A and B are shown apart, each in its own frame.
Chain A
Amino acid sequence: MDKGFKGGILAIVTMDKDKVTGGGCPVFLAVDQKEQEKLGLFLARILDGIVHDLENGVYFICRH
């Protein structure tokens, strides 16, 4: 199903705000891994996206 905007980053969830910079995309700060996973899951469901892990403590949500 076509859901419009594809390929771009919809949201970023991170525990370390120094790892992300720049604009265009909302960044959510989590206090621990548990919260990060939960935020990622919620955002992915709401935004119709998938959570990806950059393996440096940064998760982002993207629609494919």
Chain B
Amino acid sequence: MERYAVAIVVGIAAGFLDRLIMLRSDYRFYPTYPHGYLTHLALGFIAAGLGAVAIPAIAKPDYVAVTFLALAAQQFREIRNMERETLSKLEESKLIPRGPDYIEGIARVFEARNYLVILTAMASSAVAYWWRWEYAIIAAFLCIVFSTKLMGGSYIGEIAQVEKGEISFDASILKVNDVIIMNVGLTETRKKIMREGMGIIIKPRDDNARLTLDAPGQRMAIIHDVVSILGSKVDVSETELRPLARKQVDKGYLALFLVANEPDLEYLMEIIKRVPVIESTRGTTLKSFFGRKAAD
């Protein structure tokens, strides 16, 4: 086979494999639909193709082709819009919404993954073109490991301590430890909450974490993830038992209240620890001079 053909085939294979590995699907990861898989694999294949032909095109040299590649890469911006639009539309019919921050985070990740695919394909095809295709396999492996490392963000468990909280009523005021959650009017509802409700305290480890947990978008993400695994006793027109996360305004920690279909406190804590920190809500006060000064 011609040298450039080997490079392109190796590049496409490496890029496509990278996309396949990054397309994990569990409770958090959208898409969970077979057609969503197909869409993203097809786009991943195109991205891999783009990356794979870049190096042979430069080496030939065919600069016009390279210019077109840059143009084609612009198309991947559309992926973000596509994901954002789909998820925002679905949001309207959700009992417990994901929140705009979470959606934006997911959409960004989908876009970024395609750029990683392009890079993987380009690196592998470069190695195959200039050295040997056997080395390209090693390069592809390293790129895939690098991609998965890069895509793994931090989790709530890393920035905060998750502890059990005690649910109590002060007349009509529902509290988790010392954090006021809401006013509950009906006696029956209060009894139900005392029987089945669960309370969790999320204590930030530092000032960055405190700001992250402050953001309503991050709280919505936590609630959405919890509810999508343990379920909730919320229905259309029955929103009294809606899970809520409220802040202790003086001390800065968060209290979460939930009435779940599967009331298992241990797993609830584990789920919260694995909720991703949303990019757009991440607090960075400790990076600034005054933030560090004010923190001590």
Q: Mark A1-14, 1 if CB is under 8 A from B, else 0.
A: 11000000000000
Number of A-B contacts (CB under 8 A): 46
Give the interface segment out of B102-110, B233-241, B281-289. Answer: B233-241
Minimum CB–CB distance for B289 against chain A, Å = 40
Q: What 1/0 flags go to A38-64 for Cβ under 8 Å of B?
A: 001100111011111101000110001
Contacts A52-B172, A53-B172, A55-B171 given; does A1 touch B186 at CB 8 Å: no
Contact A50 B95 (CB under 8 A): no
Asked if residues A45 and B188 are in contact (CB atoms below 8 Å), the reply is no
CB distance from A4 to the nearest CB of B (A): 13
User: Nearest chain B CB to A1's CB is how many angstroms away?
Assistant: 6
Q: Which residues of B contact A45 (CB under 8 A)?
A: 237-238
Q: Does B94 contact A (CB under 8 A)?
A: yes
**Which residues of A lie under 8 Å from residue B189 when comparing CB positions?**
51
Nearest-neighbour CB distance to chain A for B294, whole angstroms, equals: 34
- B36 in contact (CB, < 8 A): no
Return A12 CB to nearest CB of chain B, in Å: 11
- Cα separation A51 to B238 with both chains bound (whole Å): 11
Does B187 sit at the interface, judged by CB under 8 A?
A: yes
Residues on the A chain within 8 Å of B238, using CB: 45
Whether B185 pairs with A1 at a CB distance below 8 angstroms is no
Check A1/B240 contact, CB under 8 A, given A37-B188, A55-B171, A59-B185. no
CB closest residue in chain B, given A59: B185
**Chain B's nearest CB lies how many Å from the CB of A20?**
15
In the complex the two chains form, what is the Cα distance from A37 to B240 in whole Å? 14
Cα of A48 to Cα of B240 in the assembled complex, Å: 10
Contact residue among A44, A46, A53, A55 (Cβ-Cβ distance under 8 Å from B240): A44
Closest to A2 in B: B92
Give, as a whole number of angstroms, the nearest-CB distance from A19 to chain B: 15
Considering residues B93, B187, B239, which has the most beta carbons from chain A within 10 angstroms of its beta carbon? B239
Residue of A nearest to B185 (CB): A51
B184 interfacial by beta-carbon distance below 8 Å: yes
- Indicate with 1 or 0, residue by residue over B84-117, a CB within 8 angstroms of chain A CB atoms: 0000000011110000000000000000000000
Closest to A60 in B: B185
> Could you give, for residues 178-215 of chain B, a 1 whenever the CB lies within 8 Å of some chain A CB and a 0 otherwise?
00000111111100000000000000000000000000
User: Hey, which bits of chain B sit against chain A, CB under 8 A?
Assistant: 92-95, 171-172, 183-189, 236-240, 242
8 A–B pairs (Cβ distance < 8 Å), ordered by A: A1-B94, A37-B186, A45-B237, A48-B239, A52-B172, A52-B185, A53-B185, A55-B171
- Minimum-distance CB pairs A-B, first 10: A51-B185, A53-B172, A53-B185, A52-B183, A52-B185, A48-B237, A51-B186, A59-B185, A50-B240, A45-B237
Further contacts, 9 of them, CB under 8 A, given A45-B237, A50-B239, A51-B184: A1-B93, A1-B94, A41-B188, A44-B186, A44-B240, A51-B240, A52-B185, A53-B186, A59-B185
